[in-house]
Structure 1
Amino acid sequence: MKKWIIDNLVTSRGKQERKSLFQILEIAKKSIDFHEFSPSKRQDFLFISYYRTLIDGEKLQGKILPYIQSNLKTIHNLHQLKSVIPIEDILITNDTEEIELKLNQGFAVVRLQKTDEMCALINIENSNLGYRENNETENEFSVVGPKIGFVENIDINIHLLRRQIVASDLIFEEITVGSMSKTKVVIFYLEGITNPKHIQTVRERLKNLEFDMVFDSSQIDQMITDNAHTPFPLFLSTERMDRVTYAIVNGQVAIMSSGSPYVITGPATIMDFFVSPEDYYLPWVIGSFFRIIRILGVIFSMFSTPLYVSVLTYHYEIIPVDLLGPIVNSRVNVPFPPVLEVIFLEITIELLREAGARLPTKIGQTLGIVGGIVIGQASVEAALTSNILLIIVSLSALASFTTPIFKMSNTIRLLRFPFILAAALWGGFGIIISFVLLLTHLMRLKSLGTPYLVPLYPFRSSDYADSFIRSSYKYTTKRPGYLKPKLLKRYNAGQDHDDINNE
């Protein structure tokens, strides 16, 4: 009985919320950009309604009005109207939810009589208005290789991808997300290569989303992630087309949303965030060297200041005698313990970084250079910090910039502070405990069900050819095994020129 009452309440509430076509148009008339008129001499026949800020005026004037006016005498129903207008995307319906959605997407609503509930929806939206045409990457720079990035228009992005991956196996699926924004979200992958389980998982998570406004793909990233309580990004977010293309060819799934120039790909592993597209455009020895430099830079960025706090608070005995004198002299007038000294400088660096990011480019660059020099020099002269720590913190901040993906860079910046506090409380033992907890957390993380630390854990020797180093193309002929692609082999390595010359 109780269930029957609830079902009836839900049904009645749904019926009350359903608007009629007359109500939809009356509400729309309150907006200054809504327009309704009749192209016929008879004022009681054929009405066109639309939002002028959403439509393409040239389509309305060139492909609708001339054909309607020249065939007014022969138009007696909406199907005849559809046959005379040279536009393919025309829908005849009386579904008010569909009408309201299409009206707000740039369709024109055409009725023969004002009292008609049945109408024709004609697609005359201006899909390019307001979108930038310049698609160079702004935040992921590359010295070598293409500079092509994504834009906010999904159709343009699909065009770019179709030109890059010339294969009918490249599939694009559309899902609408957001009860108010009605954001177009597209899943794309390679049929016959990508694991169907990954595709199905992404599809189900997107369809189960209940959200009002979706502004950017980063929101979708957070809503469909395997673990929302981790600071680590579990999907790789990028604006570079070559990075997304490489992910798709490897067997990953990609997601892009309307209004966002960033595409997210998964399943992602922690090693994906230290890979730069430049690694594949340079000789493999040089590319591997730069990749190792990035990984070492991240390790230095995370552990340099905690080790400073740990050594100067608990472990003076491990400092070499030759280095002990300069350290003591640099801190002789500093009134604060090492932990406060480090936190003061770290927060100062973060403030400079945030201020530089929020200001216009020229002012931000000036602030970063002048502010860093002035504050650093003044801090040392005022004995608020030691000059040795200033060098360590500066190098630590510099090392964190080597991470190609901005989201992972943010994570590394955040992780330094728990390590610093643990070092202040328990010294080297605190750093070890923090590292063990971090490693345990990473071992439990998954991206679309794939372990985050693979190929480190679970150990997969076959996937090391493109992890810490970028091996020669001769040894990267297979797709990563942890993605479980339907087709493992990418290409045939062929024969080296050295072998040919020897023959």
Structure 2
Amino acid sequence: MIKWLLGKKSQEPSKAHSFIIDELKEQIKSELKAGSDLTFRTLKKDKQELVFCFMDSLVNKPSLDDFIIAPIQKNTQMEWTCEAIAQLLPISDLSAVNQLNEVVTGIIEGKVYIYVEGHPYGLQADVSKTVERGIEKAETESLVYGPKIAFTESLIGNINIIRHNLNDLNLCMEDLTVGTRSKSKVKLIYIKDIAAEEHVNGFRDKINQLEIDHVAGATVLGQLIENNSWTVFPQLVTTELPDRVTIALMRGKVVVLMDRSPDALYGPTPFFTFFESTEDVYMRWNMGLALRFLRLQAAFLSVLLTPAYVAVLTFHYEVIPSALLVSLGRSRANVPFPPVFEALLLEFFIELLREAGARLPTKVGQTMGIVGGIVIGQAAVDAGFTSNILIIIIALSALGSFTTPSYLMGTAIRMVRFPIILLAGIWGGIGIMIAFCFFIIHLLKLDTMGGSYLSPVYPLRWKDLGYSFFRVPTQYLSKRPITNHPMDVQRFSAQKAKKKDVDD
């Protein structure tokens, strides 16, 4: 507390007041370690002195000059008091502070601290300079149908997008802060009469209980508040699509936005949520159903194809048709490695190509992925390192993992493939079954903000299958998913919708 500002008097007012301002400057410099961009601007009138304290690199100088300094200088007849200055300044974000930690925090955030000598408190005005990019197309989540805009690093801009998409009177936004050294603003967003109170409290408590010096972004925040940090499977969805956030809010989920992060975080999100795409909503229900099944089958085959190849060639030749056995034998005639090593080697090459393509610039990365895959694959076959059939299987497995809308879930699918391949090479089909049983047990033990990770399949909720596993016509989705425990379950009247269909 800057208690030394309260009731300090002297027989020589001018000297005493100057000393107070000098002491204020020293305390602020001490707290901010005398940063090179820390600036003090002092104005004097008669026997009064006024000081502006701000970070030169964080404030919008035209706004500071036009809306704060110029009005005070022009009103020469006005007595300098905090009340009079507050009435004069055309600044919407203006607050009175008398705590040193609040003053320093505000200066770091780009605010200007205005102090008049002899007053027990000062004013803080927000004229911060925002560094942000314009609204652009989503990069990590490609869409054919639906809005293409994506979130940016500006928290205010992202809130504006959400409010523009969802003008619900019950849309609530709570202000939270994370980080003990580098403090970052966090917004907890939910619809008050839809979102379950236990989910809102769960997110709020987990964020408030964090004791960490710095949180780099929303994805890191998600890892910190997840219940199980050892698993490869994500328990919260990270997205840069505003319309996906809007749909999640209307289903009773809770959203977290973080300043300087272009991603939104929401939950609870069971396993099958990661295979949903906003295109499923914008397309006709039968097309959305077909595409959703295609993604689930592709993910299953992505995990199973390569281990099945290893198990069959190592232990189960009898399941291979005789016509295929001849061509398979010719393909592997010059391969000196066992199937398990051959599969792991090619999987490693695919991951190298994927990572190299992701890190290179877009056009170069695409060329690297296509040319690198063709050249390395053909060279590996010609050199006798692998067979043509395994090249096809590895390519199909990679394509299957890329069909998952969530990048984190797609990466998790590629990760679990490696231990299954090893078990298939050791115990064959039994090894694959052991691996699948282990992962099913692991998924059953996981939870997402207190809810079952495999919901609505376990525990089975038939009506919720239309929101996750299946895609059904909208007129049959009159109730929100019970999995999210919404307070307002009803979306619309099913009887009225049925009557309308009959009348039509």
TM-score normalized by the length of structure 2: 0.92
1:282-310 deviation per Cα after TM superposition (whole angstroms, max 9, x unaligned): 11111100110000000010010000110
| Match of residue 14 from structure 1 | none
Please tell me whether the aligned partners of residues 357 and 368 of structure 2 are also in contact (alpha carbons under 8 angstroms).
yes
1:29/1:201 Cα in 2 relative to 1: closer, same or farther (>3 Å)? closer
1:236 partner amino acid: V
1:30-79 deviation per Cα after TM superposition (whole angstroms, max 9, x unaligned): 43322212244679721111112111122211111122112344334322
2:323 partner amino acid: D
The answer to whether structure 1 residue 48 and structure 2 residue 60 are counterparts is no
In structure 2, C-alpha distance between the alignment counterparts of 1:300 and 1:222, rounded to whole Å:
28
In structure 2, C-alpha distance between the alignment counterparts of 1:491 and 1:340, rounded to whole Å:
56
1:51 partner amino acid: M
1:192 Cα shift? Answer: 0.9
Q: Secondary structure at the match of 1:36?
A: strand
| Match of residue 450 from structure 1 | 451
| Match of residue 122 from structure 1 | 125
Which of 23, 26, 40 is residue 22 of structure 1 equivalent to?
Answer: 26
| Match of residue 180 from structure 2 | 179
In structure 2, C-alpha distance between the alignment counterparts of 1:310 and 1:20, rounded to whole Å:
75
1:89 Cα shift? Answer: 2.4
Q: Secondary structure at the match of 1:376?
A: helix
| Match of residue 484 from structure 2 | 483
1:225 Cα shift? Answer: 0.5
Please tell me whether the aligned partners of residues 20 and 96 of structure 1 are also in contact (alpha carbons under 8 angstroms).
no
In the TM superposition, what are the counterparts of 1:75-474 in structure 2 within 5 Å?
75-113=79-117, 118-126=121-129, 129-474=130-475
1:45 partner amino acid: E
1:162/1:177 Cα in 2 relative to 1: closer, same or farther (>3 Å)? same
Please tell me whether the aligned partners of residues 135 and 151 of structure 2 are also in contact (alpha carbons under 8 angstroms).
no
1:496 Cα shift? Answer: 7.5
2:472 partner amino acid: S
Which aligned segments of 4 or more residues in structure 1 are displaced greater than 4 angstroms? 26-29, 41-44
Please tell me whether the aligned partners of residues 54 and 106 of structure 1 are also in contact (alpha carbons under 8 angstroms).
yes
| Match of residue 6 from structure 1 | none
1:424-480 deviation per Cα after TM superposition (whole angstroms, max 9, x unaligned): 111100110111010000001111110000111111112122222200112112111
Q: Secondary structure at the match of 2:49?
A: coil
In structure 2, C-alpha distance between the alignment counterparts of 1:28 and 1:462, rounded to whole Å:
57
1:266 Cα shift? Answer: 0.5
Q: Secondary structure at the match of 1:256?
A: strand
Uncovered stretches (5+) of structure 1, i.e. residues with no partner: 1-18
1:20 Cα shift? Answer: 7.0
| Match of residue 12 from structure 1 | none
Q: Secondary structure at the match of 1:47?
A: strand
Please tell me whether the aligned partners of residues 332 and 387 of structure 2 are also in contact (alpha carbons under 8 angstroms).
yes
Uncovered stretches (5+) of structure 2, i.e. residues with no partner: 1-22
Please tell me whether the aligned partners of residues 31 and 104 of structure 2 are also in contact (alpha carbons under 8 angstroms).
no
1:119 Cα shift? Answer: 2.6
2:88 partner amino acid: V
In structure 1, C-alpha distance between the alignment counterparts of 2:170 and 2:57, rounded to whole Å:
37
1:197/1:497 Cα in 2 relative to 1: closer, same or farther (>3 Å)? closer
In structure 2, C-alpha distance between the alignment counterparts of 1:135 and 1:199, rounded to whole Å:
30
**Greater CA drift, 219-228 or 37-46:** 37-46
1:126-148 deviation per Cα after TM superposition (whole angstroms, max 9, x unaligned): 2xx32111232111111011112
Please tell me whether the aligned partners of residues 195 and 484 of structure 1 are also in contact (alpha carbons under 8 angstroms).
yes
1:93 Cα shift? Answer: 2.5
2:93 partner amino acid: D
1:116 Cα shift? Answer: 7.3
In structure 2, C-alpha distance between the alignment counterparts of 1:258 and 1:270, rounded to whole Å:
27
2:409 partner amino acid: M
Q: Secondary structure at the match of 1:327?
A: helix
Q: Secondary structure at the match of 2:95?
A: strand
1:98-124 deviation per Cα after TM superposition (whole angstroms, max 9, x unaligned): 1110010111122234x9774322221
TM-score normalized by the length of structure 1: 0.92
1:206-260 deviation per Cα after TM superposition (whole angstroms, max 9, x unaligned): 1101111112101110111111111110001111111111110000111010011
| Match of residue 58 from structure 1 | 62
Please tell me whether the aligned partners of residues 40 and 69 of structure 1 are also in contact (alpha carbons under 8 angstroms).
no
Q: Secondary structure at the match of 2:91?
A: coil
In structure 2, C-alpha distance between the alignment counterparts of 1:169 and 1:498, rounded to whole Å:
31
1:153 Cα shift? Answer: 1.0
Q: Secondary structure at the match of 1:46?
A: strand
In structure 2, C-alpha distance between the alignment counterparts of 1:130 and 1:318, rounded to whole Å:
62
| Match of residue 15 from structure 1 | none
In structure 1, C-alpha distance between the alignment counterparts of 2:323 and 2:173, rounded to whole Å:
64
In structure 1, C-alpha distance between the alignment counterparts of 2:73 and 2:458, rounded to whole Å:
70
1:51/1:324 Cα in 2 relative to 1: closer, same or farther (>3 Å)? same
In structure 2, C-alpha distance between the alignment counterparts of 1:33 and 1:390, rounded to whole Å:
58
1:291/1:218 Cα in 2 relative to 1: closer, same or farther (>3 Å)? same
1:187 Cα shift? Answer: 0.5
| Match of residue 500 from structure 1 | 503
Q: Secondary structure at the match of 2:466?
A: coil
1:92 Cα shift? Answer: 2.6
In structure 2, C-alpha distance between the alignment counterparts of 1:54 and 1:333, rounded to whole Å:
66
Please tell me whether the aligned partners of residues 150 and 241 of structure 2 are also in contact (alpha carbons under 8 angstroms).
yes
| Match of residue 11 from structure 1 | none
CA RMSD across the alignment:
1.9
1:382 partner amino acid: A
| Match of residue 38 from structure 1 | 42
Please tell me whether the aligned partners of residues 335 and 383 of structure 1 are also in contact (alpha carbons under 8 angstroms).
yes
Please tell me whether the aligned partners of residues 32 and 104 of structure 2 are also in contact (alpha carbons under 8 angstroms).
no
Please tell me whether the aligned partners of residues 289 and 469 of structure 1 are also in contact (alpha carbons under 8 angstroms).
no
Q: Secondary structure at the match of 2:373?
A: helix
Please tell me whether the aligned partners of residues 21 and 96 of structure 1 are also in contact (alpha carbons under 8 angstroms).
no
2:75 partner amino acid: N
In structure 2, C-alpha distance between the alignment counterparts of 1:152 and 1:64, rounded to whole Å:
28
